[in-house]
Chains A and B, each alone.
Chain A
Amino acid sequence: MLDMTPKTITERKSLRVNPAKTCQPVGAMYAALGVHRCMPHSHGSQGCCSYHRTFLSRHFKEPAIATTSSFSEGACVFGGGSNLKKAVKNIFDIYNPDIIAVHTTCLSETIGDDLNALIRELEIPQGKLVIHTNTPSYKGSHVTGFGNMMAGFINYLSEKSAVSNGKIGIFPGFVNPGDMHELKRMAKSMGVKYIMFPDTDGTMNTPITGDYQMYPKGGTTIDEIRQLGGAKHILALGELTSMIPAMEIKKKCDVDSTALPYPIGVEATDKFLMSLSKLSGKAITEELEEERGQLLDIMVDSHAYYGDKRVAISGDPDTVLGLAAFCLELGMKPKYMLTGTPDEKFTKLAKEMLLKYGVTDCIAKANADLFELHQLMKNEAVDLLIGGTHCKQIAKAEDVPFVRAGFPIMDRYVHSYMPLVGYRGAMRLAELMGNALMDRQDRDAEDKDLEMVM
């Protein structure tokens, strides 16, 4: 890449260059890793499982455990039924999870394995569970796979209840353990009774103990997923990401949901907390109000450095929307908002948001790739680039300040432990962006202009 991207943009219909997405199964694997004592299982070739584990390991720096059906030529001809049967027996025998969450791959989908039927025929040990979801790699993206896996759990486990258990279900979306931790902290601070599903806080950010725990103590429990069916209401964060599970819980258990944007920035966090407060009847605590005030204080102190800065944002749809919202609140001007996930709802939501702030020259695109983003940036430059690790080649080639946010980040540490959501997350984001912009100003300043106080 680097200097290989031509400036002239020509139409591409068939060739994908430098994707800003990956396939469904990796999202499904991540969702399943947020369930307590669950073994994610990839029903396909052994390479898929290995790639997905590697991909997650590179981002979270954790051993992402999952098993595979290890398809052979035979499985392709006769179906993967016997592989699954053997796999499930082996998994319960040796790894002893409470539940196996099977997701399909492009191969098992194309040869037409009927997972409903295959699972019905399995011999499952007493007290153990096997559930599944369909994640054809040629539809949607890893974000879709995440939602589909959640819907799979709900479909198999959630129980409809005539009486509400009074709990609020929180679907956090495809975010880091650090974000899930922050969402829970805010809910706990208000004394809200909640069920977070899935919850990788405690599974994908585990402390070192000297012992390797295949099933760490975190994760949504099977019982909690059952109870989701009797929840008072669901807050489905990520208007694209959490839509599939929200529809599933409505269909299966008649539980209503409110779709909210990822609580990134002031307004979206306000919305989240007010919804939480309204649904639970609990007041927003002084602690949270104070954090909000601190965030505003930071924004006011530093706003001169963000104002009118043009920014390019790439990543998963709801993450890009959330990051853009906070950029707009700081007075920055999104110039490009790109996601690889093919969903035109993204474009619609982006346009509505931009309109509200009077930004008219931003290009918002779904089903795009990073090659295109690079070309756009070559034609009209920006002051800041926000995205995952794959953007780093563009950042270097165009010499533009770069903030890593979203998924995957494979070339830095700590990020998965820290939030972007909530007021605290916004403070962190303000610091990351401010530092990137101001470091650049220092780097480019002539000696006489280098400012000691900024």
Chain B
Amino acid sequence: MSEGILEVRKKSIMVKNTGCSGDGTGIDCEKASVSGAVSQRACVYCGARVVLNPITDAFHIIHGPIGCSSYTWDIRGSLSSGSEIYRNSFSTDLREKDIIFGGAKKLTAAIDEVVDKYSAKLIFVYATCIVGVIGDDVEAVCREAENKYKIRVIPVKAEGFSGTKKQGYKLACDAVMKLIRPYKITDKKGQHGLNILGDFNLAGEMWLIKNYFKKIGIEVVSTFTGDSSHENLLKAPQAALNVVQCAGSSMYLANQMEKEFAIPFMKVSFFGIEDTSASLMQVAHLLGDEQVIAKAEAFTKKESARLRKFMAQYKPKLAGKKAAIYVGGGFKAISLIRQFNEMGIETVVVGTQTGRKDEYEIIQNIVNDDTVILDDANPAELEYFMKIKHADILVGGVKERPLAYKLGIAFCDHNHERKHALGGYEGVENFTKEINLSINSPVWEYMTAI
């Protein structure tokens, strides 16, 4: 282990088989960042915002000083087939006098101005760090606005310090439940089709998945939250099944919906050929008749065969390369390791921001010996392990990109700034092309000194 690793961080880093977390309890995860670390992690507000933001016709009003609104303005990369209103940045831009005298009045007025300007039906009000500290009663303001305008105004009390990003996911799920709870149906027989949870339609991925279900004859009722609308979300309680793609953000919502609406759920992954086909088949067996199953079988077989042929072209260019993965959730990391396996690329470093213990256990099972596994890694650790493990490519998010490049390591954004759809079968093509484009680009050739 490097001398450059903080003692308190050592439990959050392990090497498969040698296991330097040592005490046999597995990796240390699901905790707040260490003070003083160059953490890559975001906050409670960020977690809530990224989950709710793709609701396209909602007004997202950030109640707080301007920063939190600025930094999240139209950056999620989730696409809309309808309204573009969510791509605006609305905030109360709290100033010093609001901090002293309270910001509740300004929030009321801001809601009035939104309603006055647009025919808003759904408003989310995010309370950021200082709102609780200065004592604004955001819930009361929202309640009054709901009564006054007969629309939904839902508070999301997302003070950044009140936990990790994951806490924000939970708050977002609670807000969604608040929205759809009144639309619960009592007639179980009326339930049909499925909801897709935990896909945010980055680069249009939700559209791809919806299209698969259409092809095999399964109805998609509602989507959380990629390309969703107020009206569409309200239909969710009518579904017979929830499939959960990004478990980190949406498992809690699935649990709640099971409890309150009696909708069962299953975890799915639409990353990679194996996972996509397996997920589609599982859903077909659960929801479909023989015809649907037959269609699903034919479709997944055809797509898999097509893609294996496609991959075979790329394999010679990619086989033997080594990958490092640093992503948000554990489930995505697992999918990526499998995809790299299909390309003949070995994963030598894998880390997540918010992975859970059970996910880390799966990761341990599917990687080779000596693979380094990290929770909430900082750049120094990433750098150290990518170097000693000779990674050729890093898959990560915006803050990791320049780091990889500086080290002369190829990069693929599997986060908000992904350039192409990476989910579904088309995503396999895009992902493989992107990995190949970066890893085999001539720009690396000139890296050696003159």
In the bound complex, what is the Cα–Cα distance between A88 and B34 (angstroms)? 11
**A202: Cβ under 8 A from any B Cβ:** no
In the bound complex, what is the Cα–Cα distance between A8 and B35 (angstroms)? 49
Interface residues of A in 269-321 (CB under 8 A from B): none
Binds A, one of B127-135, B238-246, B365-373, B423-431: B127-135
Interface residues of B in 56-86 (CB under 8 A from A): 61, 64-74, 84-85
Contact A91 B36 (CB under 8 A): yes
Instruction: Pick from B40, B85, B379, B406 the residue with the most CB of A within 10 Å.
Output: B406
**B101: Cβ under 8 A from any A Cβ:** no
A15-B113, A45-B43, A46-B42 known; A214 vs B380 contact (CB < 8 Å): yes
- Contact check: which of A70, A76, A136, A211 meets B39 at CB < 8 Å? A70
What does the 1/0 interface line of B9-36 toward A look like (CB < 8 Å)?
A: 0000000000000000000000011111
In the bound complex, what is the Cα–Cα distance between A202 and B211 (angstroms)? 49
Contact A12 B36 (CB under 8 A): no
Contact A48 B88 (CB under 8 A): no
Contact A390 B71 (CB under 8 A): no
Interface residues of B in 82-106 (CB under 8 A from A): 84-85, 87-96, 98-99, 106
What does the 1/0 interface line of B198-225 toward A look like (CB < 8 Å)?
A: 0000000000000000000000000000
**A361: Cβ under 8 A from any B Cβ:** no
In the bound complex, what is the Cα–Cα distance between A51 and B73 (angstroms)? 12
**B110: Cβ under 8 A from any A Cβ:** yes
B98: nearest residue on chain A (CB-CB)? A138
Contact A63 B380 (CB under 8 A): no
Contact A17 B35 (CB under 8 A): no
**B174: Cβ under 8 A from any A Cβ:** no
A63-B402, A107-B130, A208-B447 known; A95 vs B38 contact (CB < 8 Å): yes
**B298: Cβ under 8 A from any A Cβ:** no
Binds B, one of A22-30, A118-126, A243-251, A425-433: A22-30
What does the 1/0 interface line of B314-351 toward A look like (CB < 8 Å)?
A: 00000000000000000000000000000000000000
A51-B42, A111-B133 known; A23 vs B67 contact (CB < 8 Å): yes
Residues of B contacting A26 with CB < 8 Å? 67
B67: nearest residue on chain A (CB-CB)? A23
In the bound complex, what is the Cα–Cα distance between A6 and B448 (angstroms)? 55
Interface residues of B in 116-135 (CB under 8 A from A): 116-118, 128-130, 133-134
Interface residues of A in 30-71 (CB under 8 A from B): 41, 44-55, 57-58, 61-63, 65-71
A67-B37, A73-B161 known; A54 vs B399 contact (CB < 8 Å): yes
**A19: Cβ under 8 A from any B Cβ:** yes
Chain B interfacial residues counted at CB < 8 A: 79
In the bound complex, what is the Cα–Cα distance between A107 and B407 (angstroms)? 35
Contact A72 B32 (CB under 8 A): yes
Contact B129 A107 (CB under 8 A): yes
Residues of B contacting A22 with CB < 8 Å? 66-67, 70-71
In the bound complex, what is the Cα–Cα distance between A35 and B434 (angstroms)? 37
**B401: Cβ under 8 A from any A Cβ:** yes
**B146: Cβ under 8 A from any A Cβ:** no
CB distance from A104 to the nearest CB of B (A): 12
Contact B46 A94 (CB under 8 A): no
Residues of A contacting B129 with CB < 8 Å? 44-45, 105-107, 110
In the bound complex, what is the Cα–Cα distance between A15 and B407 (angstroms)? 44
Instruction: Pick from A46, A61, A211 the residue with the most CB of B within 10 Å.
Output: A46
Residues of B contacting A49 with CB < 8 Å? 39
B397: nearest residue on chain A (CB-CB)? A54
Residues of A contacting B65 with CB < 8 Å? 23, 106, 137-138
CB distance from B9 to the nearest CB of A (A): 8
Contact A23 B66 (CB under 8 A): yes
Contact B106 A14 (CB under 8 A): yes
In the bound complex, what is the Cα–Cα distance between A88 and B72 (angstroms)? 29
Residues of A contacting B68 with CB < 8 Å? 47, 51
Contact B39 A1 (CB under 8 A): no
Contact B161 A45 (CB under 8 A): yes
Contact A46 B32 (CB under 8 A): yes
A93-B6, A137-B65 known; A86 vs B35 contact (CB < 8 Å): yes
**B362: Cβ under 8 A from any A Cβ:** no
CB distance from B407 to the nearest CB of A (A): 5
CB distance from A126 to the nearest CB of B (A): 19
**A10: Cβ under 8 A from any B Cβ:** yes
In the bound complex, what is the Cα–Cα distance between A182 and B412 (angstroms)? 33
Contact B33 A70 (CB under 8 A): yes
In the bound complex, what is the Cα–Cα distance between A58 and B402 (angstroms)? 10
In the bound complex, what is the Cα–Cα distance between A87 and B70 (angstroms)? 27
In the bound complex, what is the Cα–Cα distance between A57 and B107 (angstroms)? 32
**B4: Cβ under 8 A from any A Cβ:** yes
Contact A70 B34 (CB under 8 A): yes
CB distance from A391 to the nearest CB of B (A): 12
A69-B35, A110-B133, A212-B383 known; A136 vs B96 contact (CB < 8 Å): yes
**A16: Cβ under 8 A from any B Cβ:** yes
Residues of B contacting A25 with CB < 8 Å? 67
**B51: Cβ under 8 A from any A Cβ:** no
A3: nearest residue on chain B (CB-CB)? B84
Residues of B contacting A88 with CB < 8 Å? 36
Contact A138 B95 (CB under 8 A): yes
- Contact check: which of A14, A76, A107, A212 meets B406 at CB < 8 Å? A212
Contact B36 A67 (CB under 8 A): yes
A46-B33, A107-B160 known; A15 vs B110 contact (CB < 8 Å): yes
Residues of B contacting A212 with CB < 8 Å? 379, 383, 403, 406-407
**B405: Cβ under 8 A from any A Cβ:** yes
- Contact check: which of B38, B72, B116 meets A67 at CB < 8 Å? B38
**A438: Cβ under 8 A from any B Cβ:** no
CB distance from A210 to the nearest CB of B (A): 4
**Knowing that A69-B36, A93-B6, A106-B99 are A-B contacts, what are 8 other residue pairs whose CB atoms are under 8 Å apart, sorted by A's residue number?**
A4-B84, A46-B32, A47-B44, A47-B165, A51-B46, A70-B33, A138-B65, A138-B95
Which 5 pairs, one residue from A and one from B, show the smallest C-beta to C-beta distance? Answer: A47-B43, A23-B67, A90-B36, A87-B36, A45-B160
